[in-house]
A and B are shown apart, each in its own frame.
Chain A
Amino acid sequence: MIELDDIHKAFNQGRPNEYWALSGINLKVAARQVTALSGPSGSGKTTLLTLLGCLARPTRGRVRLRDEDVSGLPERFLTEIRRRTFGFVFQQFNLVRGLSALDNVMLPAYPLGLPYGQLREKAENQLAGLDLGHRRDARVEWLSGGEQQRVAIARALINDPEVIIADEPTANLDTALSLQFLDILSRLIDEGRTVVLTSHDPLVVESSVVDRVVRLRDGRLVDNAD
């Protein structure tokens, strides 16, 4: 599904504070599986996730999505790929405050210009599927942490993406809510989606839902099975 070939990523390149977050990463992410990136803080998990989700471009190396090299594409094309292929669930959920749950879910689809009725119905279905139908008109800041995360998941699914990218999805959840999240994950896989997430939560990393754990340390893979 996604293939990384000798990926290097530097920040502040050419400046005194130059920092290499990733070095020589080779990785294949299989379709219809949950892949977890694990490692201590500063190991490069999130940076790797941004490269896999086409949120950033590598400094060196190639990123292939369905055998197509996307690492050199300009931002405009990457946006289009992001919109069609990926759904994002951020650690802080990154919902837009002041808007209702429903409006937040519809937001990624606005640039597509779908008919309003159709889009609304789609968003309502996503929320209902995550047991949030009754909270659709509530402003997101009034929702609990678990509810906010489910809104973020519904938002990630609105454009029907193949791949879900989740950054530390259980970092702000208690055990019960984390288990509920793992249930949702298995449902996503059943629907035929691919999930890539970062986590250092043992509950997630050791869960049977996760097909593969990729460990990182100091910007390098620790045990690359592929």
Chain B
Amino acid sequence: MRLWIAKQRYLIDFTLASLARRKTKNIGLVLVFALLVFALASVTLLTSALRQEAARVLADSPEVLLQRMVAGRHDLIPPGYIERIGRIRGVQQVEGRLWGYYYDAVVKANYTFQVSRENPPPPGRIVVGPGLARFRGVQTGNVLSFRSYSGKLFTFTVDAVLPAESELVSADLVLLNEADFRAFFDYPAGHFTDIALSVANPQEVRTVATKLAAALPDSRPILREEVLRTYQSIFDWREGIALALLSAAILAFAILAWDKASGLSAEEKREIGILKAIGWETGDVIRMKLWESMLVALAAFLIGYLAAYVHVFHFSAALFAPVLKGWAVLYPSFTLLPAIDGLQIATLLFFTVFPYAVAVLVPIWRAAITDPDAVMRG
């Protein structure tokens, strides 16, 4: 075993010397390789962080949402519905929610107006999301005016700006009290946008949904897990689009790897011949070259992955965010919580390091099995 280790140390030693001798070529190769890993890792890190972020945010949302449908479209919940739901067994809490969209022609963006039940702002005051505050350039104490859909002008004082940590879901949010909301949108009294239900036992969520559908046939229950799944598939889809675009880069890299692989330089071939002639076995030569390609590939992978990590979690994935985060005008600006998935790293490793090692190995094997007497013939 000690002999084996000593042998590998000599091989690595020689490999490092070889790499240093062909500095320019190898640095170039590592950079191109690292760039590819950077692009792929940025996309996967960002989408998985977004997925986790969405899951975290939705963890606090109600288990079931109930929407009333008219002609297949979302309609207001009329008075009396909340009372009828309250009688269904298993439902712990029922709350009518009020929210709606508002298009702000000033910044050409949509806002979400929502009534805050827990801490409703005083009349005439609103709490705004950080994206909106940034876009309209307002802070606590400033005044904001909106012209309602009925044409009336409403003026609100900003009571607070929501913390940046929640920006993924609150960038465009405007929180206000019920009376102001109903007045602004001319919302009929006793009506709600939808109903949020909490269910005591998570196992019973589906049963409650079935009971709701039976009791209120014109309504549609939406389960949290379904929303979560939708988010996941949206991010999967976007990740797929980005990866499809990146496939051009992968192809370019494959060509580079193939070129490097098939074009073993005359100098390298000569060296392999010398090593064989002076007593290295074919296996020693292949092992040495394997170390070489592994060192190149792993160095590139490490550099690329670290760069992607910094890009995604410290610079909010500035390069890919427009494609991957969403299409809203008010791009949420937020720092994602670092999340690393072992399987994801393994997949990325498999699709970058492995093909490279194989591509490099084939011609080396071909060169290494040539007769050692070739070196005698210059």
A→B interface (CB under 8 Å): 46, 49-50, 55-56, 75-76, 79-80, 82-83, 88, 90-92, 94-99, 103, 107-108, 110-116, 155, 159, 167
The reply to whether A110 and B10 contact each other, CB–CB distance below 8 Å, is: yes
The reply to whether A108 and B376 contact each other, CB–CB distance below 8 Å, is: no
Report the minimum CB–CB distance from B179 to chain A (whole Å). Answer: 82
Knowing A50-B376, A103-B17, A167-B376 are in contact, say whether A113-B278 is a contact too (CB < 8 A): no
Report the minimum CB–CB distance from A193 to chain B (whole Å). Answer: 16
Q: Which residue on chain A has the smallest CB distance to residue B21?
A: A98
Q: Which of A46, A94, A112, A155 has the most CB of B within 10 A?
A: A94
Point out the residues of chain B lying under 8 angstroms from A98, CB to CB. 17-18, 20-21
The reply to whether A46 and B376 contact each other, CB–CB distance below 8 Å, is: yes
Selected contact of B280 from candidates A50, A55, A79, A155, CB within 8 Å: A79
Q: Which residue on chain A has the smallest CB distance to residue B14?
A: A110
Selected contact of A113 from candidates B7, B270, B279, CB within 8 Å: B7
Selected contact of B278 from candidates A75, A92, A107, CB within 8 Å: A107
Point out the residues of chain A lying under 8 angstroms from B278, CB to CB. 83, 88, 107-108, 155
Point out the residues of chain B lying under 8 angstroms from A155, CB to CB. 278
Selected contact of A91 from candidates B277, B284, B373, B378, CB within 8 Å: B378
Report the minimum CB–CB distance from B73 to chain A (whole Å). Answer: 74
Knowing A94-B277, A111-B281 are in contact, say whether A49-B376 is a contact too (CB < 8 A): yes
Q: Which residue on chain B has the smallest CB distance to residue A56?
A: B373
Interface presence of B108 (CB below 8 A): no
Q: Which of A79, A92, A110 has the most CB of B within 10 A?
A: A110
Knowing A107-B14, A113-B4 are in contact, say whether A90-B371 is a contact too (CB < 8 A): no
Point out the residues of chain B lying under 8 angstroms from A46, CB to CB. 376-377
Point out the residues of chain A lying under 8 angstroms from B21, CB to CB. 97-99
B→A interface (CB under 8 Å): 3-7, 9-11, 13-14, 17-18, 20-21, 267, 270-271, 273-282, 284, 371-373, 375-378
Point out the residues of chain A lying under 8 angstroms from B13, CB to CB. 110
Report the minimum CB–CB distance from A189 to chain B (whole Å). Answer: 22
The reply to whether A50 and B373 contact each other, CB–CB distance below 8 Å, is: yes
The reply to whether B281 and A79 contact each other, CB–CB distance below 8 Å, is: yes
Given contacts A79-B372, A83-B278, A113-B6, 17 further A-B contacts (CB under 8 A): A49-B376, A56-B371, A56-B372, A79-B281, A88-B278, A92-B378, A95-B274, A98-B20, A98-B21, A103-B17, A108-B280, A111-B280, A111-B284, A112-B7, A113-B10, A114-B6, A116-B6
Complex Cα distance, B279 from A83, in Å, reads 5
Point out the residues of chain B lying under 8 angstroms from A83, CB to CB. 278-279
The reply to whether A99 and B17 contact each other, CB–CB distance below 8 Å, is: yes
